[in-house]
């Protein structure tokens, strides 16, 4: 299977060190399925102060990420992985859902994720972007957390990352509509709380029916 690269363009690369080094993210790298890297946008900043932002034309509060550093960073990332999809985290992007994560995982292409920051970015950067993504209708300080969400939700769907062959299939939102059914493990009774009897009887058809009946519809 082809090694996939996930490159994160960010002003805060240190935020990703621990995230990429644990759990499924670490396992994906250890198994040679994914390679993570961060690209420090500041390295492409302008002048002796490595400027990456400026005030918006037309006035207004806040600072916008400048086009020159962003273009240079994306071009650098594409040299590493010319076929990679470029994703921009932005509040006006398409809502990130499980089906989208599955689509990205199925494409078997690398990702370049641009973390937005400050009050926004120069609009011209969108000419280099394949997808604009939002993880929800709320405001965050920057795009680092959305980038982690995107990377994690895609990586765990790559074959070989999760333990069982059907692990991803039975998870919440795997069909786009329902949540995962309740699950239990040993002991069969704990502080008076018992595991449903049907899950203990070994009758697989009844267990499947119980699980189907106890799945909830997503909002």
Residues 32-49 have pLDDT tens digits of 999 999 999 999 999 999
Query: 40 and 16 in contact (C-beta within 8 Å)?
Result: no
What is the CATH T-level fold of the domain 177-219, as seen in this structure? 1.10.1270
Domain ranges for the chain: 4-155, 177-219
The pTM score is 0.86
- CATH number, domain 4-155: 3.40.1280.10
Query: Distance between CA atoms of 98 and 218, rounded to whole angstroms?
Result: 12
pLDDT digits (tens, 9 = 90+) for 142-187: 999 999 999 999 999 999 998 755 555 555 455 555 778 899 999 9
Q: Nearest Cα to 28, choosing from 83, 86, 105, 143?
A: 105
Q: Is it true that 4-155 and 177-219 share their CATH fold?
A: no
Residue whose pair of structure tokens reads 């020159």 in the numeric block: 68
**pLDDT bracket for residue 130 (50, 70, 90):** very high
């Amino acid at each position: 299977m082809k090694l996939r690269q996930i490159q994160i363009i960010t002003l805060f690369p240190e935020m990703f060190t621990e995230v990429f080094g644990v759990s499924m993210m670490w396992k994906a790298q250890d198994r040679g399925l994914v390679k993570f890297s961060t690209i420090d946008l500041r390295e492409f900043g302008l002048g002796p102060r490595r400027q990456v932002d400026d005030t918006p034309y037309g006035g207004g509060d806040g600072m916008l990420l400048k086009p020159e550093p962003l273009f240079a960073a994306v071009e650098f990332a594409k040299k590493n992985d010319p076929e990679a999809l470029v994703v921009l985290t932005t509040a006006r992007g398409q809502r990130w859902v499980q089906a989208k994560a599955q689509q990205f995982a199925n494409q078997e292409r690398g990702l370049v994720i641009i973390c937005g920051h400050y009050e926004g970015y120069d609009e011209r950067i969108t000419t280099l972007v394949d997808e604009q993504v939002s993880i929800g209708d709320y405001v965050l300080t920057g795009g680092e957390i959305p980038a982690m969400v995107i990377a994690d939700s895609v990586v765990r769907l790559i074959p070989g990352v999760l333990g069982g062959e059907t692990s991803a299939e039975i998870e919440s939102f795997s069909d786009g509509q329902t949540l995962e059914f309740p699950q239990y493990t040993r002991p069969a009774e704990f502080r008076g709380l018992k595991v449903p009897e049907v899950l203990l009887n070994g009758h697989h058809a009844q267990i499947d029916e119980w699980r189907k009946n106890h799945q909830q519809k997503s909002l």
